[in-house]
Amino acid sequence: MPDPVVTIALGVTLALGTSSVLQHRAPMLTGAPLMPPTEMSMSMHARGTFEVQIAPLPADAYGDATTLGRMTIDKQFSGDLVGTGKGQMLTGMGTVKGSAAYSAIERVTGTMAGRHGSFVLQHTGIMAKGEQSLVITIVPDSGTEGFAGISGTLAIIIEGKTHSYDLEYSLPSVP
């Protein structure tokens, strides 16, 4: 049986103000899920679009805003997930054109599937000579209120100027 795949698009705005958008197929993480499915959990998908504003933070002793950067992330989600995302991104440029990386932590607050609360996403984006991969995972045990116990992954799809998301997630069943 072939490994499951997901189409990923990675658009990373780096400290230099450049952006790159490529779409490719990358293998999904295999192995034990972070939250094993049980009779008491349900696996679902949430899909929609989002608007994003990324703003560079001033250079300091930890980032020169050229090869190392730090930015804020502000998102507005619509579709199956309605809410906001707020976070910070760290970026690093390689010495070879088309090589860079970013890591980000983002708190998402909103309503989805009749539940309200928040959870934290951890982003890891790598670009090596133009080849890109992106993994965005819900931080274990970060869910609050109606999202307590949430686990899953988020894929970002960029087509033209439209940013879409596909959140594959599990939540404990409501008693």
pLDDT score of 102 more than 90:
yes
Q: pLDDT above 90 covers what percent of the chain? A: 68
pLDDT at 41: 66
Tens digits of residue pLDDT in 44-55: 999 999 999 999
**Domain 45-56+66-175: which CATH number of 3.30.450.20, 2.40.350.10, 2.30.40.10, 3.90.1150.10:** 2.40.350.10
Most confident range (mean pLDDT) of 23-37, 40-54, 125-139 is 125-139
- Every domain of the chain and the residues it spans: 45-56+66-175
Per-residue pLDDT tens over the stretch 53-74: 999 999 888 778 778 999 999 9
Q: Give yes or no for a contact between 124 and 90, defined as CB atoms under 8 angstroms apart.
A: no
What mean pLDDT is predicted for residues 143-159?
97
- Residue 38 pLDDT > 90, yes or no? no
- Average pLDDT over the chain reads 81
The model carries a pTM of: 0.77
pLDDT of residue 63: 79
